[in-house]
Structure formats: structure tokens, C-alpha cells
Copies of this chain bind each other. A is one copy, B any other.
Amino acid sequence: MKLSQDDIRARFKARGLKVTPQRAAIYRALAETTSHPTADALYRAVRRRYPMISPNTVYYTLGALRDAGLIHEVNYWHDGARFDANMQPHHHLVCLGCRTIHDVMDAGLSRLQAPAGFRREFQITGHRVEFHGYCEACRETGPRRTARVTTRRSAPAARA
């Protein structure tokens, strides 16, 4: 989506974000692609126009935009591959507070289909449903967020 400088300015203001050239460039780059880039890819992209920009700024900014509700972090599970020996079809519920992952067995969810258009264009092999929410213990604490993007360091050690 093409955005004017004023569009961006207005969106930032509406969320109480300071407007800086770097920040606008990062948001613009993300808004104009549908490729779901990583933070690093955005860093590289924006650096073409702002060679001085630092990784720090990109990571910090993405965290700020996310917390402001201007962008989505598509996958919270980027803290490393996660494994599961349960081979029955099932889905997951992730607590956004403590990041615990619960198994959801539900036959109905396993019968979902992608829209017809995609079924023609793609060979669909499966799907997965991920519910998000808060467990009882985390209900009051709200989302676990830092100013930065990732949660790797603060994720609880999985008990295996």
C-alpha cells in the first residue's frame, strides 16, 4: 500500500509515536510489501536509503510500532524451533503471558479448508490453528512485551 508522508505522520501521531525519518522509512517499507519480512530484512531494505541506520533502531522501532498496534508480529514463536512428539492431528493454544503452549484436540478444526482460489493454485498439505490468550495465572498481567522485538531471552525455559 502506498502511503504519503502525511498518512504516516497522522498514523504515528494518532498512536502517540514520535515521527522520525528512520521510523517512517521502516513503516513505509513494511506497509509497501506483502512479503512478511524479518527485522533483519527490513534493516537491510531501509539501509539502502539510510545507510547510517543501526540495527538497534530497526529492532527498537518495530517493537514500538507493534506495541502501538500499527503492525503485527506474525510469528511469536521465533525463539527457536519447537518440537512435539504428539503425531495426532491437533492444534495449539498459546498463552501470551507465559508462552506456554497447550495442545487442542478438535476434529472440527482439522477439517478446515483453504479458500477455493488457493486450493487451485497451491498444493495444500495441511494447516494449523493457533489460539492466543491468557491462562488464569497470566490474565491480569497482560501481554509480555519489551520495547524490543524478540522475547527469546525472557521466554521461560521449556521443561522437557
* Those of A69-116 within 8 Å (CB) of chain B: 69-87, 92-93, 95-96, 100-104, 106, 109, 112, 114-115
Q: Are B36 and A84 in contact, with the CB atoms below 8 A?
A: yes
Please determine whether B93 and A82 come into contact, CB atoms closer than 8 angstroms. no
B130 touches A128 (CB 8 A): yes
The number of residues on chain A lying at the interface, defined by a beta carbon within 8 Å of a beta carbon of chain B, is: 78
Contact A133 B139 (CB under 8 A): no
Provide the bound-state CA to CA distance between A158 and B121, in Å: 21
Residue of B with least CB distance to A127 = B131
Listed in ascending order, the chain A residues whose CB lies under 8 Å from chain B are 1, 27, 29-42, 44-46, 62, 66, 69-87, 92-93, 95-96, 100-104, 106, 109, 112, 114-115, 118, 121-136, 139, 149-150, 157-160
